[in-house]
Amino acid sequence: MYYYLIKLVMSISVVIPCFNEEKYIPGCLNSILNQTVKPEKIIVVDNNSTDQTVKIAKQSKSVIVIQETKQGIVYARNTGFNACHSEIIARCDADSLPPPQWLSKIITLFSKKQVDAVTGPVIFYDMAIKSSKIARLYQKIIHVYQGYPTLIGPNMAISKKIWEKVKNSVCYDESVIHEDIDLAIHIKQKGGKIIFSKSLLSYTSGRRIVKNPLSFFGEYPLRIMRTYQHHNKSQI
C-alpha cells in the first residue's frame, strides 16, 4: 500500500538510451515493467540502431520509442530527458537490471531528502566478482575529489526541475567529457543537491570491462581527467 501512496506524491519516468542493444533490452524492459511502482512513462531513445532493438522495444505497449539521429549518448540522453514531463526522471542503461523496488526507493529519496539528483552503486551481474565494492570505490574517489557525489548512467535519477535548469548548458563532446560527471557538475553549478545512497542498488553488465579492458581502464579514466580539465577546479 505504501508504494502506491508515494506514487501519488511524485511522478516518475524512466529513460533508456539505446544503440544496438537487442541482446540486453528485453531483460532491462522486463525489470522496469516489474517495478513495485509503475513509471508514468518508459522511454527508449533509439540512437540509430541497426539491429532489432526498436522492434523488441515496440512489442510492449507500455514503452515509448523515440529517435535521436545525432550519434552519442549525450544526445540520446538529452532527448529522452526532454521528452519526460514527470517530476522525476530515472535513467538506466539498456543492459541494466534494476531490482523491483528501484523506482520506489528513488521516489522515497526525493520525497524525504529534498534533493535534485540521486545515485547509487551497481553490481556487474555477468562478472566473476559480484559485489558493489568496485562501483562504490569509483564513486567514493570522485566524491572525494570534487567534493560531492557524481552520477552514474546505469543507476541515477534527477528532478525535471533541475534538468530544465541545466539542459542548455551540459556539454556534448564525448571526447572531452564524461557525460555523467559533466551532468553532476552542471547540477552543482546551479545549486542542486546530489546524494549517493548505498541502498539504491542496481545491476548492470560488465561486458565493456571484459571485452575491451584497455579501453575501460585507459580511455575511460582519460575522459574523466579531460572532464575536469574542461571544467577547471574553480567551476567544480
Q: Return the C-alpha cell found at 8.
A: 501519488
pLDDT in tens, 61-85: 999 999 999 999 999 999 999 999 9
Q: 80: closest CA among 179, 226, 192?
A: 179
Hey, what domains does the chain have and what are their CATH numbers?
A: 2-230 (3.90.550.10)
The Cα 95–Cα 216 span in angstroms is: 16
Name, in order, each residue with C-beta under 8 angstroms of 214's C-beta and a sequence gap of 6 or more.
Answer: none
pLDDT in tens, 120-176: 999 999 988 888 988 999 999 999 999 999 999 999 999 999 999 999 999 999 888
Q: 68: closest CA among 48, 95, 89?
A: 48
Mean pLDDT, the chain, integer: 92
**pLDDT of amino acid 2:** 47
**pLDDT of amino acid 21:** 98
Write the Ramachandran bin of 114: left for phi over 0, alpha for psi from -120 to 50, otherwise beta.
left
